[in-house]
Every structure is written in structure tokens, then in C-alpha cells.
Amino acid sequence: MHDGSLASLDEVVRHYDRGGTSVPGQDPRIRPLNLSGGEIGDLVTFLYSLTGDNINELVREARGG
């Protein structure tokens, strides 16, 4: 998770599957997804497939540099 509170992509997907955490400023469109265990696994696998080996370049681009 972007704030470092969750250690793995699986934990992040499960966090948002539960609807995130009710905190000020959280987008009201974030709500429980009620995914099955298989759907969570499939989503995590798909997200890992998007991972590249150019992380440093992506970080620079994201920071405007």
C-alpha cells in the first residue's frame, strides 16, 4: 500500500476488498467488493503481470523528473 502499512499486494487487495478503512478524505466510492478467494487470487496474479523491471524510471516519471 502506498503508505507502507501493508506488506504485500495480496494484503492490499484484501484491504480494498473489505472496503478500505473509514478515514477522512477516503473516496466515498471505495466500498466492499465481496470478491471470492479465487477472484482475489486472480486479481493479484493479474496485477503482478503488470510489473516491469523499470521501477526506477517509473518512480522518476511519477515524481515529474
Ramachandran class of 14: left when φ > 0, alpha when ψ lies in -120 to 50, beta otherwise: alpha
Q: For the chain, which ranges sit under pLDDT 50?
A: none
Q: Specify the pLDDT at position 55.
A: 81
Residue type present at position 52:
G
CA distance 12 to 43: 11
Q: What is the pTM of this model?
A: 0.70
CA distance 39 to 59: 29
